[in-house]
Amino acid sequence: GAVVSQHPSWVICKSGTSVKIECRSLDFQATTMFWYRQFPKQSLMLMATSNEGSKATYEQGVEKDKFLINHASLTLSTLTVTSAHPEDSSFYICSARDAGRETQYFGPGTRLLVL
């Protein structure tokens, strides 16, 4: 149980294009999902908290117009990196909060490379 999937697992795109990453909780409902960014050999940095049916809450320094988050259902949240640039290249990881267990389960991550 407590499986979170992410799609795609990796993506390469040209500078200026937009990329959408999907995060799904497969066997539980997640009223809250989180998006993290991780640079090589570093810890996870929370970008935003996504609540089903409401606007996401962004951490300080994260541009909400650049990283669009939609949490349309209890099992799906999406992160869209708009007008991607090489500095946006990173490992993006989502997590979903299982209210029953009161903890977060992480997806496998999406590696984004912007050329």
36 CB burial (10 A radius; 0-12, 13-18, 19+): buried
CB 109 within 8 A of CB 92: yes
| Interface with other proteins, residue 101, by CB under 8 A | yes
Q: Which residue from 28, 35, 58, 105 is in contact with other proteins, where contact means CB under 8 A?
A: 105
Nearer to other proteins, 4 or 112 (CB): 4
* Position 82, amino acid: T
Q: Which range binds other proteins by CB under 8 A, 12-20, 36-44, 70-78, 79-87?
A: 36-44
The dihedral built from the CA positions of residue 97, 4, 33 and 105, taken in this order, carries a sign that is positive
Closest CB 66 distance from other proteins, rounded Å: 22
Rounded CA separation 67/52 (Å): 17
Closest CA to 24 of 11, 33, 14: 33
Site map 42..81 versus other proteins, x via CB under 8 A: xxx-x--x--------------------------------
Pick one of 19, 56, 93, 114: the residue that binds other proteins (CB under 8 A). Answer: 93
Contacts with other proteins, residue ranges (CB under 8 A): 2, 4, 6, 32, 34, 42-44, 46, 49, 93, 97-99, 101-109, 111
